[in-house]
């Protein structure tokens, strides 16, 4: 289908427009939506397979419910593209996942239809429960719908929310099963029962029967309880009970979630009942796109351009697989991110020592602590932004017991395409105040490999952070011209015999911006040296080494950090060096460029590093100001 031929889609600028469409137009609309998705996501990158799978569901939700008064909350939110298209944001898809453009996730500041901002998994039901409770307290008749994938049920928050659900709420949980098998009652008869339960007559019959029996004197209540027990026993014998019914929620399904008519009928039935209800659907990832249907993992999140094939996660995975050949105590742990963290080779080579714990980062870290306490060497690879969920486990279960757990922090730094929910800018700050942790920040593949080899001899908690990026040739040639990676830690491009007036200090991928700034400043006849840190702790020792490294000619030290300032490495090192310099007359000036009190979420197109105040230009201007 030609994506430009959008007879119905072009007419929809709000959910009200969608509800005004004749029912017969829906099949054609769904085809237009899929064609539009494939074209735009293929061009600009983004989550394709999951969005193709929820077309019928999303259309039905906005037609059945009175959005935005009724709210739809998408767990994670990566499957909200259709929702955005139908709520007045279709013309912004040219800016999808660009800085200041259309976000790849729901956001309260983007649209009134985005009731709650999401980006991490397993949060939607808790938030939806909060909305539903507030409505009940205020006497409002709004509905709240949480769309939750089956993968989210590997995270603990969903179960905590289920345990707290009140059956007497206008809350609807859509369980979207697209990969895992959760319920065994799938088949023609189960679908037939689901169709009956979705019909208005079924609900009316249940209610009328209950009212009739309860009105009978003496025998009414016992007869009703007997009939209800008999019904449950028959159903449980044939199909088994499920978690949702055990906690008192009305359950419907599982049904084909790509059957629009059936999905709409179930939603209408749930709306009529006006009580907490679970609708269990099964959808096909990549629906309507042959390539995405056959390879849903590959098409889960596609990039506009693939870029370098070798990146830091690739090197991590390959190196850990090599190390595990010689050390049978090595175990690898991921929280549902085996592909992203580079652990697929390890999982294939050592399946018995590979653990994918699901979307449960806190559990992943405490599980690693248990492995370490029992004598194993666990290596847990977790995205920086997701590691935030494991703070208590890091502090209480790993650091307090001083266990040799190695945490590999992937996706460190800003995430321009994914936005604030995925920026890895807080890990250094929250790890820095946890005792016993060693924090390493490799800027080259060679230093990452060296750190991993050394990690086997470290008997205390270790964190190694790196971006999802390729190493910089300029960084390698400047700081490791002879390939002496075993001496990682602190590398300078000057000696005490040189005469720089300013020294720029940084760590991680910002080293390439530092070198670019130095080149520009040198052309302007400023004398500048640079220092690359690949070990951040213990801060007192690093600060002492750094201070001793400075030639007498240095007037100012400028730190550049792609992380939050408060509690970050730059702040801690600067404070320590100021104390040292005060003892020597306090002649040095210090300047820090870091992210200040911000989640870094621009609303207009811009350079995200300029927006955060840590661009090459910002660094150049800071040095010039300090030396003027």
Residues recognised as catalytic: 285, 361, 389
Helix axis angle for 569-582 and 539-549, nearest 10°, is 60
Q: Say if residue 108 is exposed, middle or buried (CB neighbours under 10 Å; 0-12, 13-18, 19+).
A: exposed
Rounded Cα–Cα distance for residues 99 and 82 (Å)? 20
Q: Contact, 596 vs 542, CB < 8 A?
A: no
| Segment (H or E) for 506 | strand 502-507
Please tell me whether residue 493 adopts helix, strand or coil conformation: coil
Beta strands in 3-140 (DSSP E): 71-74
Q: Say if residue 351 is exposed, middle or buried (CB neighbours under 10 Å; 0-12, 13-18, 19+).
A: exposed
For tokens 């945490």, the residue is: 407
Residues linked to residue 557 through DSSP beta bridges, in sequence order: 503, 590
Q: Say if residue 585 is exposed, middle or buried (CB neighbours under 10 Å; 0-12, 13-18, 19+).
A: exposed
Q: Which two tokens stand for residue 78?
A: 């990566």
Distances (CA, A) of 492 to 182, 476, 496, 561: 55, 12, 10, 17
Degrees to nearest 5, angle at CA 189 with 197 and 223: 50
Q: Say how many CA atoms lie within 13 Å of 552 toward its Cβ.
A: 2
DSSP 551-611: -TT--EEEEEEEEESTTSHHHHHHHHHHHHHHTTT---EEEEEEE-S-----SS---HHHH
Rounded Cα–Cα distance for residues 360 and 348 (Å)? 22
For tokens 């405490």, the residue is: 366
Q: Tell me the helix, strand and coil percentages in the chain, rounded to 5.
A: 45, 15, 40
Torsion on CA atoms 277, 281, 285, 286, rounded to nearest 10: -100
Q: Which two tokens stand for residue 526?
A: 């400023």
Strands 330-334 and 377-383: parallel
* Number of neighbouring beta carbons within 10 Å of residue 593: 25
The DSSP secondary-structure symbol of 145 reads: E
Q: Which two tokens stand for residue 531?
A: 């220092």
Rounded Cα–Cα distance for residues 187 and 282 (Å)? 12
For tokens 């995200």, the residue is: 608
User: Which of 533, 516, 500 shows the shortest CA–CA distance to 609?
Assistant: 516
Rounded Cα–Cα distance for residues 251 and 256 (Å)? 15
Q: How far apart are the first and last CA of the chain?
A: 63
Quote the radius of gyration of the chain (alpha carbons, Å).
28
Beta strands in 412-480 (DSSP E): 438-440, 462-465
Please tell me whether residue 530 adopts helix, strand or coil conformation: strand
């Amino acid at each position: 289908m030609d994506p430009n031929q959008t007879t119905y889609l072009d007419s929809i600028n709000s959910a009200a427009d969608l509800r005004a469409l004749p029912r017969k137009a829906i099949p054609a609309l769904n085809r237009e939506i899929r064609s539009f998705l494939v074209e735009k996501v293929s061009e600009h990158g983004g989550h394709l397979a999951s969005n193709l799978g929820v077309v019928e569901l999303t259309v039905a939700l906005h037609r059945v419910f009175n959005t935005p008064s009724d709210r739809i909350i998408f767990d994670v939110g990566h499957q909200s593209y259709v929702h955005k298209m139908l709520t007045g944001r279709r013309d912004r898809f040219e800016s999808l996942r660009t800085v200041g453009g259309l976000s790849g996730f729901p956001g309260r500041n983007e649209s009134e239809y985005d009731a709650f901002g999401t980006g991490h998994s397993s949060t939607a039901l808790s938030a939806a429960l909060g909305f539903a409770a507030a409505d009940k307290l205020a006497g409002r008749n709004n509905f709240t719908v949480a769309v939750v994938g089956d993968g989210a049920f590997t995270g603990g928050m969903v179960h905590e929310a289920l345990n707290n659900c009140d059956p007497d709420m206008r809350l609807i949980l859509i369980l979207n099963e697209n990969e895992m098998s959760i319920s065994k009652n799938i088949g023609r008869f189960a679908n037939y029962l689901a169709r009956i339960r979705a019909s208005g007559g079924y609900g009316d019959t249940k209610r009328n029967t209950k009212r009739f029996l309860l009105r009978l004197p003496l025998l009414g209540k016992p007869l009703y309880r007997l009939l209800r027990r008999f019904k449950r026993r028959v159903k449980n014998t044939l199909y088994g009970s499920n978690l949702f019914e055990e906690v008192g929620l009305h359950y419907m399904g599982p049904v084909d979630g790509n059957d629009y008519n059936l999905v709409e009928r179930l939603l209408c039935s749930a709306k009529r009942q006006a009580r907490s209800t679970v609708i269990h659907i099964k959808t096909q990832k990549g629906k309507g796109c042959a390539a995405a249907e056959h390879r849903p993992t590959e098409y889960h999140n596609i990039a506009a351009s693939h870029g370098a094939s070798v990146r830091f996660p690739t090197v991590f995975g390959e190196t850990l697989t090599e190390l595990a050949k010689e050390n049978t105590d090595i175990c690898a742990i991921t929280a549902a991110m085996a592909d992203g963290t580079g652990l697929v080779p390890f999982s294939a080579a050592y399946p018995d020592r590979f653990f994918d714990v699901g979307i449960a980062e806190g559990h992943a870290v405490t599980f690693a602590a248990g492995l370490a306490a029992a004598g194993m060497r666990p290596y847990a690879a977790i995205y920086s932004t997701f590691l935030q969920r494991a703070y208590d486990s890091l502090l209480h279960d790993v650091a307090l017991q001083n266990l040799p757990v190695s945490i590999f922090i992937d996706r460190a730094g800003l995430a321009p395409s994914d936005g604030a929910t995925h920026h890895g800018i807080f890990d250094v700050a929250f790890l820095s105040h946890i005792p016993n942790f060693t924090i390493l920040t490799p800027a080259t593949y060679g230093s990452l490999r060296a750190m991993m080899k050394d990690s086997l001899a470290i008997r205390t908690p270790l964190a190694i952070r790196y971006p999802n990026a390729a190493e910089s040739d300029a960084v390698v040639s400047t700081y490791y011209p002879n390939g002496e990676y075993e001496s990682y830690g602190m590398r300078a491009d000057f000696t005490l015999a040189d005469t720089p007036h300013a020294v720029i200090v940084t760590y991680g991928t910002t080293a390439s911006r530092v070198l670019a700034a130095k080149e520009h400043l040198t052309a302007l006849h400023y004398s500048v040296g640079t220092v690359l840190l690949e070990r951040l702790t213990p801060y007192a020792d690093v600060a002492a080494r750094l201070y001793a490294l400075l030639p007498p000619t240095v007037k100012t030290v400028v730190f550049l950090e792609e992380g939050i300032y408060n509690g970050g490495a730059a702040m801690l090192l600067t404070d320590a060096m100021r104390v040292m310099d005060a003892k020597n007359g306090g002649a040095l000036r210090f300047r820090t460029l870091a992210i200040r009190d911000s989640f870094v979420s621009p609303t207009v197109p811009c350079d995200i590093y300029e927006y955060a105040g840590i661009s090459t230009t910002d660094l150049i201007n800071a040095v010039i100001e300090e030396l003027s």
